[in-house]
Structure 1
Amino acid sequence: MTLDNWLTLLHPALAVIVVFPLIGIVVNFAWATRQRRLQIKAGNKKSKIPPVVGRDHVQLGKWLSASVVGIILVAFAHAILSKNIIKNQLFTENPPQAIFIVLMFALTIASLVFLYQARAKQWRAIFATLTGMGLVVLGSQDGVFRRSAEWYISHYYYGMIAALLMIFSLAIIDEIYKDKSLFWRRVHIVLNSIALLLFIGQGITGTRDIFEIGLYTPPPGLIFLGL
C-alpha cells in the first residue's frame, strides 16, 4: 500500500477507534443523567445512579465534539492535499488559493480552541460560528468528495450537519444549566437525537464509501508492479 492509501484509512480508523466509542459512552451517560433527573423529580432522592453522570456526560460530550470536528478536518486535509494542492500544484499555480486553504485550517482550529475557552455568551456564539464557517468553507474546496447529486445519502453532508450540531451543543452548554425554563435543555436533546441518527448514517455511508473505493483501487500487488 502507498502512503496515500494509508492516509485514506486514517479518517475511518479514527472514527472506529475514537469517535464511535465516545458516542456510545456519551449517549449512555446522557440516558443515565436523564433517568436520574426524572427519579429525583418523582421524589426518589436516593437514586442508584451516581450524581457524577451529569458531569461525566458534559466532559465526554466536549471530547466528542472536538473529536468530530477533528476527524472531519483530518479527512478534509487529506482530500484537499492529495487531490487539489499536490495534484494541481497549487502552491505554484495558484499560491493565494493555497495560502487561503492553509489559513482556513489554522483559523478553524483556533476558533474551536477559543470556543472551549470562551465564557461570555457572545464570544461562544462568535467562535462557534467561525468554527462552523471554517468547516463549510474547507468542505467546499476542490478535492473533497461531497456526492452532491445524492446529498440525502451523502457521507459528507451527514458528517457536516452532525459536526455543526456538535459545535452548537458545545456553544450552549452554559445556557442549558442557566435556563430555568428548560428550553435549551430540550433543544439540546432534540438536536443531539438528530445528531445520533446522523452518526448512524455516517457509519452506513462511510462503510459504503470505503467499499466503493475498494472497487476502483487496484490490489497492492498491481500498484507495486505499476500496473
Structure 2
Amino acid sequence: MELKDLVLVLHPVLAVLVVFPTIGIVVNRAWQVRQRRLEILATGKSKIPPIVGQEHVSLGRWLTAAVVGIILIAFANGIVGNILDKEVWIKAPFQVILIGSLFAGAIACLYLLYQAKDKNWRGIFATLTGMMLVILGCQDGIYRKTEQWYVSHYYYGLIAALLMIFSLAILPDIYKDKTNRWRQVHIIVNFIAILLFLGQGITGTQALVEIPLTWQKPYIQMLYEQNCATQSCTIQPVSSPKNH
C-alpha cells in the first residue's frame, strides 16, 4: 500500500479506535446523568455519583474534537490527492494556498470555540468552523456520492460534525437555562447525531469498498475507457482458471 492508501485507511482506523468507543462512553454517561436527575427528583438522593455529569461534559468536548479531526483527515486525503494528481499546485497555486488556509482556519476556529466564554463569540466561532468544513467538503477530490446523498458517508459525517459543533457551542447555556429548553435541544441534536453515527458505520464500510486503492485506479480507468465510455455496461467477474 502506498502512503495515500495508508492515509485513506487512517480515517476508519481512528473512527473505530477513538470516535465510536467515545460515543459509547458519552451515551452511557448521558444516561447515568438522566437517571441520577430522575432519582433525585423522586427520592432526593441517588446512588449514581455526581462526577458522571463532569465526565459526560468532558468526554463530549473530546468527542467533538475527534469527529472534526477525522473529517479533516478524510478531506485532506481527498483534496491533497487531487492536487498532486492534477498538479493543481502548478496550475492554480492561489487555490492551493486558499485551501491550506481553510484547513488552518477550521482548526483555529475550533480551538477558539473551546476557549470562548461569551455567547456571541461561541456562535461566531461555531459558525466559522462549520462554514470552513462545508467549503472544504465542496473541493475537488472529495468522494461525496451526491446522486445518492441519502446513503452518502460524506453527508452523514458532515451533518453529524455540524451538529456536534452546535452542541459544543450551546453547552454553557444548558446549565444557565432554568427552563431546560437548551437541555431539550441538546438531547434532540445529539439523538440525531447518534443516528447519523450509526449510519456512518454502514456507509463508511460501503465507501471503503467503492473507493479504489492507488494500484487499482489504472485498471478501473482502463476498463471504463475500453468498455463503458460509450455504452452502458456491467463489469463481469474474472473467472479463475481451472486446475487440470
Q: Does 1:142 align with 2:136?
A: no
Decide whether aligned partners of structure 1 residues 2 and 209 sit closer, same or farther in structure 2, where only a CA change above 3 A counts. Answer: same
- List aligned pairs for 1:4-43, cutoff 5 A: 4-43=4-43
What is the aligned partner in structure 2 of residue 213 from structure 1?
211
| Structure 1, 209-218 or 199-208: larger mean CA deviation | 209-218
Tell me the equivalent position of 2:124.
Answer: 126
Q: Give a deviation string over 1:114-143, Cα, whole Å, max 9, x none.
A: 000000000000000000001000000000
Q: 1: CA distance between counterparts of 2:214 and 2:140?
A: 20
Q: CA deviation at 1:213?
A: 3.2
Q: TM-score, normalised by structure 2?
A: 0.86
Question: 1:48 maps to what in 2?
Answer: 47
Shift of 1:77: 0.5
Equivalent position SS for 1:15: helix
Relative to structure 1, the CA distance from residue 8 to residue 215 in structure 2 (aligned partners, 3 Å threshold; closer, same or farther) is: closer
Q: Quick check: which has more Rg, 1 or 2?
A: 2
What amino acid sits opposite 1:87 in the alignment? D
Structure 1 unaligned regions, length at least 5? 219-227
Check 1:216–1:152 CA distance in 2 against 1; reply closer, same or farther (3 A cut). Answer: farther
Query: Aligned-pair distance for 1:90?
Result: 1.5
Partner of 1:61: 60
Write the letter of the residue equivalent to 1:201.
G
Structure 1 residues 214 and 79, CA gap change in structure 2 (3 angstroms):
closer
Aligned to 1:181: 179
Moved over 4 A (4+): 214-217
Q: Tell me the C-alpha RMSD between the 2 structures.
A: 1.5
Gaps of 5+ in 2: 217-244
**Rounded Cα–Cα distance in structure 2 between residues aligned with 1:157 and 1:170:** 20
Cα distance in structure 1, aligned partners of 2:177 and 2:38: 18
**Residue 105 of structure 1, CA deviation:** 0.4
Residue by residue, what CA displacement relative to the aligned partner does 1:188-225 show, whole Å, maximum 9, x if unpaired? 0011000000000000100111123369964xxxxxxx
